[in-house]
C-alpha cells in the first residue's frame, strides 16, 4: 500500500519527571513505522515502556523528545479526530449501562447517527448479540472484554490500540479471544497495535512482533512472523510457529540478559 | 457483598423460609418492634422485684407502652384536639419546611461537590469553611438566620428551611465529591480517548458513578433536615410545628411523660417517611446499580 504509515515514530523519547529530581527514562530513540492493516505486537519485560509507547500513540501522555505521527497527524489531533479505539487490560465497562448501551457510549459522545443499529451490529461481530440487554456484571471476564472490543470498534476507527487486553483472562478463554480478535481483524481491516508480555500470544496474533528491552526502553528487534492466514489450531501446532516463538524468545534474552 | 453479582431474581439461599421479599421485610420490622416493646416492659417488670436498676422504671420515667399509645388517642389539652391529630398537623407543617430545606441543601451540596471536583483550587479554598460550618452548633446559627431572614423580609418558614438546608448540604457535598472521584482512572482515560468534553465526562461517567454515594448522603441528610427544621422552629417561635410540641411536652415531662414519648415516636416516623421516600426515588432513578443494600 502506498498510504502513509498509520503510526510513524522517529527518535521518540519519554522521560517521566520523578519526585525529587530522579527522573525515569521510559523510552529512548524509538523508531517505528506501522502500515495500514498490520497487526503489530509490542513485547518486552515489564518496565520496557511498551505500555508507555501505546499511550504516547493514544495521546494519553506526551512525548519528551522526537517525532510521532498517527495517521499522518500530531497524536493530539488524531485523538480529537477519534482516529483510534482503545482496549485496556480491564474491560472498564460502565456498571449502570447495559451491554448495548456501553457499546453506544462512544457513539453518543461522538453524536453518531443510528447508534442502536451500530451497537447491535458490533455485538453480533463479537458474538454477544443475545446479551445486549444484560448488565456488565452479569458477564464473565472474557465476555466483558469482548464488549470492550465491540465498544472500541463501534465508531469504526482505522486503528485499534490494545494494552494487555487478555492479561487478566485464563488460558482457555485467552486462546479463544485471540482467535476471535484475528477474525475481527480480518473482517474489519483495522490496524492493531497490541501490547502483551506473552510470547506465544504475540507470535500467534501478529504480522510483526516488536521486541523491546528495558532501562531505558528501546526497540531491540522487529520480527516479521511470516505465518500464513487464517491462523487456527493448526498454526499453534506448526513448526513455523515454534520457530518464531524461539526467535522472539532469543531476541528477548539477548537484550535483557539477566533482567527478569 | 459477596452475592452482589447474583443475577436479579435469583433465589437467596438463606433467610426466612421462602417467603416473598416484601413479606420478609415486614416480618423482620414487626419482629424488632415486638422485641423492643417486650424489652421495655420486661425492664419495668424487673424493677418491681426490687432489683437496683440504673434508670428508675417508674411510670413517669418509663411509661407503659400502652400508655404512650393511649396518649396518642386522647385529647392533647382538656377539650382540645386528639394528640395524634395535633401531631399529624404539626408533622405536616414541619415536614414542609424540612422538605424545602432538604431540596435546597441537596442542590447546594451537589453543586459544591461538582465545583470542587472541577476545581482543586476551589476545593482548597472553600473546603475548610465547609467543614467549619458544620462544627458551629446549629443552636447558635438558627437564631441568627431567623433574625437575618426577618431583616430581608423573606417568609419565616423559609428561614427555617434555610437552617434545615444548612444541616443537609454537608453530607451531600462530601459524598458527591467522593462519588465523582470514584470512577476508575482507566475509565477516565477511556473518556479521554473519545475526546469527550468535561461536561460529557461529568454527566456520562462521574455523575452516574456518584449516584450510590449521593443517595447514601441524601438518606443521612433527610433525617438531618427534619432536625434542622425542628430546631429552626424554636427561635422562629412557630406554634404549629413539631418543635413547639416537643418543647411544651418536655416541660410537662414530670406529669405527663407519655405525651413526650408519643411525640418523639411520631417525630421518628416523620424521619422514616422522608428517608423512605429518598430510598424509593433511588430505586426509580438508579435501578441498574448493583444491589448494595
* β-pair type (A24-34, A39-43): unpaired
Residue A244 in 3-state DSSP? helix
Q: Is the pLDDT of residue A77 over 80?
A: yes
Report the pLDDT value the prediction gives residue B162, as an integer from 0 to 100.
93
pLDDT average, residue stretch A49-60: 94
Mean pLDDT of the region A1-30? 84
- The alpha carbon of residue A198 is apart from the nearest alpha carbon of chain B, in Å, by 22
The mean pLDDT of A8-23, rounded to a whole number, is: 84
Which of A 107-136 lie inside 8 A of B, CB atoms? 108-110, 135
pLDDT at position A257 is 55
* Calpha distance B98→A122 (Å, rounded): 50
**A61-80 residues touching B, CB cutoff 8 A:** 79-80
- Residue ranges of alpha helices (H) inside A66-109 are 75-80, 99-109
Q: How confident is the model at residue B3 (pLDDT cuts 50, 70, 90)?
A: very low
Cβ B187–A94 below 8 Å, yes or no? yes
Do you find a cis peptide bond into A230, omega within 30 degrees of 0? yes
> Cell numbers 399509645 correspond to what residue?
B69
pLDDT at residue B235 is higher than 90? no
pLDDT at position B288: 57
Query: What are the phi and psi torsion angles at A228 (to 5°)?
Result: -80, 160
pLDDT at A68: 95
Give chain A's mean pLDDT. 90
pTM of the model: 0.82
Q: Do the chains contact at B289 and A95, CB–CB below 8 Å? A: yes
pLDDT of B287 above 80: no
Question: Does residue B7 belong to the interface with chain A, where contact is any CB pair within 8 Å?
Answer: yes
CB B183 within 8 A of CB B206: yes
The interface pTM score, or ipTM, of the predicted complex is: 0.90
**Sign (positive/negative) of CA torsion A56, A62, A66, A69?**
positive
Mutate to test the interface with A, among B9, B191, B193 (most CBs of A within 10 A): B193
Whether A85 has its CB under 8 Å from any CB of chain B: the answer is: yes
Chain B partners within 8 Å of A86 (Cβ): 189-190, 193
Nearest CA in chain A to B6: A138
Distance from CA of B8 to the nearest CA of A (A): 9
Asked whether the beta carbons of residue B5 and residue A92 sit closer than 8 angstroms, the reply is: no
How close are the terminal C-alpha atoms of chain B, in Å? 8
The reported pLDDT for the residue numbered B53 is 79
| Contact between B76 and B82 (Cβ < 8 Å) | yes
Q: Encode pLDDT of A121-149 as tens digits.
A: 999 888 899 999 999 999 998 899 999 99
**Residue-level pLDDT at A41:** 96
Taking the Cβ of residue A3 and every Cβ of chain B, the question of whether any pair is shorter than 8 Å is answered with no
What is the per-residue pLDDT for B6? 47
Q: How far is CA A185 from the centre of its chain?
A: 12
> What pLDDT, in 10s, does the model give residues A193-252?
999 989 999 999 999 999 999 888 899 999 999 888 888 888 999 999 999 999 999 999
Question: All 3 cell numbers of residue B138?
Answer: 446549629
The per-residue pLDDT for A255 is 73
Q: How confident is the model at residue B140 (pLDDT cuts 50, 70, 90)?
A: confident
pLDDT at A69: 94
Q: Give per-residue pLDDT as tens, B20-36.
A: 888 888 899 899 999 99
Mean pLDDT of A40-54: 92
Give percent of chain A above pLDDT 70.
96
CA distance, residue B186 to nearest chain A CA (Å): 7
**In this predicted model, what pLDDT tens digit does every residue of B149-196 receive, in sequence order?**
888 888 888 999 999 999 999 999 999 999 999 999 999 999 999 999
pLDDT at B191: 96
Average pLDDT (B202-206) is 95
Which three three-digit cell numbers place residue A29?
530513540
CA-based nearest distance A257→chain B, Å = 33
A54: which strand partners? none
* pLDDT bucket at A169, cuts 50 / 70 / 90: confident
Amino acid at each position: 500500500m502506498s498510504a502513509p504509515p498509520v503510526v510513524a515514530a522517529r527518535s521518540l523519547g519519554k522521560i517521566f519527571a520523578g519526585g525529587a529530581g530522579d527522573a525515569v527514562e521510559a523510552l529512548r530513540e524509538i523508531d517505528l513505522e506501522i502500515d495500514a492493516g498490520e497487526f503489530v505486537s509490542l513485547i518486552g519485560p515489564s518496565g520496557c515502556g511498551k505500555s508507555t509507547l501505546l499511550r504516547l500513540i493514544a495521546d494519553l501522555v506526551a512525548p519528551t523528545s522526537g517525532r510521532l505521527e498517527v495517521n499522518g497527524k500530531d497524536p493530539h489531533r488524531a485523538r480529537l479526530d477519534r482516529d483510534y479505539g482503545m482496549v485496556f487490560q480491564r474491560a472498564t465497562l460502565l456498571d449502570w449501562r447495559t451491554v448495548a448501551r456501553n457499546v453506544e457510549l462512544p457513539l453518543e459522545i461522538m453524536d453518531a447517527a443510528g447508534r442502536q443499529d451500530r451497537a447491535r451490529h458490533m455485538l453480533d461481530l463479537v458474538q454477544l448479540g443475545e446479551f445486549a440487554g444484560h448488565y456488565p456484571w452479569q458477564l464473565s471476564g472474557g465476555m466483558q472484554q469482548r464488549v470492550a472490543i465491540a465498544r472500541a470498534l463501534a465508531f469504526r476507527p482505522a486503528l485499534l490500540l490494545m494494552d494487555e487486553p487478555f492479561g487478566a483472562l485464563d488460558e482457555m478463554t485467552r486462546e479463544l479471544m485471540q482467535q476471535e480478535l484475528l477474525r475481527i481483524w480480518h473482517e474489519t481491516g483495522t490496524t492493531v497495535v497490541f501490547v502483551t508480555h506473552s510470547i506465544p500470544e504475540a507470535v500467534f496474533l501478529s504480522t510483526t512482533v516488536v521486541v523491546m528491552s528495558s532501562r531505558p526502553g528501546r526497540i531491540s528487534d522487529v520480527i516479521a512472523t511470516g505465518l500464513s492466514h487464517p491462523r487456527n489450531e493448526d498454526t499453534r501446532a506448526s513448526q513455523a510457529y515454534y520457530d518464531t516463538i524461539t526467535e522472539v524468545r532469543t531476541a528477548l534474552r539477548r537484550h535483557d540478559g539477566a533482567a527478569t | 457483598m459477596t452475592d452482589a453479582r447474583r443475577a436479579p431474581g435469583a433465589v437467596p439461599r438463606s433467610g426466612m423460609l421462602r417467603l416473598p421479599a416484601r413479606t420478609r421485610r415486614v416480618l423482620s420490622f414487626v419482629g424488632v418492634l415486638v422485641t423492643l416493646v417486650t424489652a421495655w416492659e420486661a425492664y419495668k417488670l424487673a424493677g418491681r422485684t426490687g432489683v437496683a436498676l440504673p434508670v428508675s422504671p417508674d411510670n413517669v420515667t418509663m411509661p407503659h407502652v400502652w400508655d404512650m399509645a393511649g396518649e396518642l388517642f386522647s385529647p392533647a389539652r382538656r377539650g382540645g384536639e386528639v394528640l395524634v391529630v395535633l401531631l399529624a398537623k404539626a408533622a405536616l407543617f414541619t415536614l414542609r419546611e424540612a422538605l424545602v430545606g432538604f431540596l435546597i441543601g441537596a442542590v447546594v451540596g451537589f453543586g459544591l461537590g461538582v465545583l470542587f471536583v472541577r476545581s482543586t483550587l476551589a476545593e482548597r479554598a472553600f473546603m475548610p469553611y465547609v467543614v467549619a460550618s458544620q462544627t458551629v452548633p446549629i443552636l447558635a446559627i438558627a437564631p441568627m438566620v431567623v433574625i437575618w431572614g426577618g431583616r430581608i423580609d423573606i417568609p419565616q418558614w423559609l428561614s427555617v428551611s434555610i437552617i434545615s438546608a444548612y444541616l443537609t448540604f454537608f453530607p451531600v457535598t462530601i459524598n458527591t465529591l467522593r462519588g465523582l472521584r470514584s470512577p476508575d482512572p482507566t475509565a477516565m482515560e477511556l473518556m479521554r480517548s473519545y475526546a469527550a468534553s468535561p461536561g460529557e465526562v461529568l454527566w456520562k461517567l462521574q455523575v452516574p458513578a456518584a449516584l450510590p454515594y449521593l443517595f447514601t448522603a441524601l438518606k443521612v441528610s433527610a433525617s438531618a433536615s427534619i432536625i434542622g427544621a425542628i430546631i429552626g422552629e424554636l427561635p422562629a417561635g412557630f406554634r404549629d410545628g413539631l418543635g413547639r410540641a416537643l418543647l411544651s411536652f418536655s416541660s410537662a415531662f414530670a406529669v405527663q411523660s407519655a405525651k413526650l414519648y408519643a411525640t418523639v415516636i411520631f417525630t421518628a416516623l416523620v424521619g422514616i417517611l422522608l428517608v423512605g421516600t429518598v430510598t424509593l426515588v433511588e430505586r426509580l432513578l438508579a435501578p441498574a446499580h448493583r444491589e448494595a443494600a
